[in-house]
Structure 1
Amino acid sequence: MIKLATLIAIALEGGREVMTVYGTEFLAKTKADASPVTEADLRCERVILDRLAEAAPGIPVVAEEAVAAGRVPESGETFFLVDPLDGTKEFVKRNGDFTVNIALVEAGVPVAGVVYAPAAGQLWTGSRDEGAFRADVANHLAGDLEPIRTRKAPPALIAVGSRSHGSAETAEWLSRLAVEHFVSRGSSLKFCILASGEADIYPRLGRTMEWDTAAGDAVLRAAGGIVTTLDGAPLSYNKRGQSDDADFANPHFVAYGDPRLAQR
């Protein structure tokens, strides 16, 4: 399996490209699915694809902007999922809640991932083999990796949800639980908050794609959490040929810091 240090180095380089654009006047274009794309998405993805080809030749890469352009590789059992700029809406708003995401998937399971929030100077990473960690980042150089772990769910929960994609359906779903506090954040940062033991549950009753979730999912799993569909099955990856949605589209899901919370 690819080492976390390699994924971290690639994500940091991609984040440098993102922040180069962030400091300029940039344009956001609208893709066919109505989501925005900027020069930062494209430049970051280009760097990540080049570096993954050097570090792990022969392992296919399914990347968001390449897929949007019609370049979809045969992925097989082992492949990378890349979202070069998750939270493009947050990037355009310049609120800092955007991330660079790289994940390795094996047999439908995200087994390694890195989430880098370049504007916030923070990084989270984790793998099945190495565990889960966070680090502060300065000038796109990561400091010491600190181990992280999800927390045992307390009676009164902290929930996290989307800053730009909240819904009444999500609020209704959460109403069955004793939620003490709700935190709105953008991009894959929501998974990282759970992985760091700062919150307990993240329901997403809205459309996402696999590249939106895989890296954060990998970090959360490595930290002791789980991500399931609404019927309790583990969220799986490499979903192709779906009769009711596009390739790589996710169903609604819930991320739990404490797996026992899923049984409540």
Structure 2
Amino acid sequence: MMPPAEELVALMTAAARAAGRAIMAVYAEPDIGVEAKADDSPVTRADLAAHDSITSTLSAACPQLPLLSEEGDLPPFDVRRQWQRYWLVDPLDGTKEFIRRSGEFTVNIALVEGGEAVLGVIYAPATNTLYAGQRMGQDRTTWRAWKINADGDQADIHSNPLAANASNMVVKLVASRDHGLDKTPALIGRLAAIWPQVEVKPMGSSLKMCLLAEGLADLYWRHGPTGEWDTAAAQAIVEAAGGGLFGMDGAPFRYNQRAGLTNPAFYAVGSVEPDWQALLADL
């Protein structure tokens, strides 16, 4: 029998904070052990230490739940497709930012159920800030997202409603520091045709989508490669806060639906009201 959502989120929070401590221990060292993975993306000793920490915490508490991590082994799809419920983890999201020592990196832990990310925790260890969301069930009035700051203060968060016909509104775009830069000017042009002012904030890791959830940004569009572990926790939090994350076909992301784990292009938004799909078409 599965523990209630509150206990699961508490477990995810503990796992994320423990992984954060492992990450920051490596962060403080002069040599963080950078290596290249098979796809030429970087991995550090912090990625691996966080993976080990999270796996130990979650597996000890819920041995019945499979765990899929960016830094772990990938079971065959014939095995994974049988999973009704599992953990989906990015132990260190924003490895490039970690290497740059920008502070913009996170621990991402999601619980996926029936292909949907229903619980999400994102922890930013450099600032000791944690975001969480639960959107279990179909009754959206029970969904909830919250933030715990470095002082331990907890507050519910909500995304920003954005009307497409409001001439006095500013639209806030968050963008990757490394991906999609060639498309950003065209996107700004389309946004400026609707809203009089467009603000752009470059940022690393899933913190971009955390800004959507707390109403500090409106749009994040990503057409470069990401993995399912990059988006699941953030999707749960953004949806619980009132926003959404969609493929370019306008459908919300679902997880573990195919053999590969590379996401297609997507957009995440604080408000689902504007016709984002039409606005972003053919960019």
| TM-score past 0.5 threshold | yes
Aligned equivalents of 1:175 and 1:205: distance in 2?
A: 17
Aligned counterparts, 1:131-210, within 5 A: 131-137=144-150, 143-153=152-162, 155-178=169-192, 180-210=198-228
How big is the shift at 1:71?
5.4
Measured against aligned partners, the alpha-carbon deviations of 1:38-58 in whole angstroms (never above 9, x if no partner) come to: 010001110101111122221
8 A Cα contact 2:188 2:198, kept in partner: no
| 10, 13, 17: which one aligns with 1:12 | 17
8 A Cα contact 2:19 2:54, kept in partner: yes
8 A Cα contact 2:175 2:202, kept in partner: yes
Residue 91 of structure 2 aligns with an amino acid whose one-letter code is P
How big is the shift at 1:108?
1.4
| 202, 207, 230: which one aligns with 1:212 | 230
Q: Which runs of 5+ in 2 are unaligned?
A: 137-142, 164-168
User: Is 1:118 matched up with 2:125?
Assistant: yes
Measured against aligned partners, the alpha-carbon deviations of 1:104-136 in whole angstroms (never above 9, x if no partner) come to: 111111110100000122110111145100011
8 A Cα contact 1:170 1:204, kept in partner: no
8 A Cα contact 1:229 1:235, kept in partner: yes
Task: Give the equivalent residue in structure 2 for 1:102.
Answer: 109
Aligned equivalents of 2:185 and 2:238: distance in 1?
A: 22
C-alpha change, 1:180 and 1:34, in structure 2 (3 Å) is same
Aligned equivalents of 1:63 and 1:137: distance in 2?
A: 26
**Alpha-carbon RMSD:** 1.7
How big is the shift at 1:177?
1.5
8 A Cα contact 1:239 1:249, kept in partner: no
Task: Give the equivalent residue in structure 2 for 1:52.
Answer: 58
User: Is 1:229 matched up with 2:242?
Assistant: no
Number of equivalent positions: 253
Question: TM-score scaled to structure 2, two decimals?
Answer: 0.84
8 A Cα contact 1:170 1:203, kept in partner: no
Residue 219 of structure 1 aligns with an amino acid whose one-letter code is I
Task: Give the equivalent residue in structure 1 for 2:166.
Answer: none
Task: Give the equivalent residue in structure 1 for 2:89.
Answer: 82
Aligned equivalents of 2:103 and 2:275: distance in 1?
A: 31
Residue 274 of structure 2 aligns with an amino acid whose one-letter code is L
How big is the shift at 1:79?
1.1
How big is the shift at 1:144?
3.0
Aligned equivalents of 1:89 and 1:104: distance in 2?
A: 25
Residue 99 of structure 1 aligns with an amino acid whose one-letter code is T
| 257, 260, 264: which one aligns with 1:251 | 264
Aligned counterparts, 1:58-73, within 5 A: 58-67=64-73, 70=74
8 A Cα contact 1:207 1:249, kept in partner: yes
Aligned equivalents of 1:251 and 1:170: distance in 2?
A: 18
Q: Which runs of 5+ in 1 are unaligned?
A: 242-246
How big is the shift at 1:72?
6.0
Residue 13 of structure 2 aligns with an amino acid whose one-letter code is I
How big is the shift at 1:237?
1.0
Aligned equivalents of 2:49 and 2:261: distance in 1?
A: 23
C-alpha change, 1:35 and 1:145, in structure 2 (3 Å) is same
Residue 151 of structure 1 aligns with an amino acid whose one-letter code is N
| 24, 34, 50: which one aligns with 2:29 | 24
Specify which structure has the higher proportion of strand. Answer: 1
Aligned equivalents of 2:217 and 2:274: distance in 1?
A: 12
Residue 18 of structure 1 aligns with an amino acid whose one-letter code is I
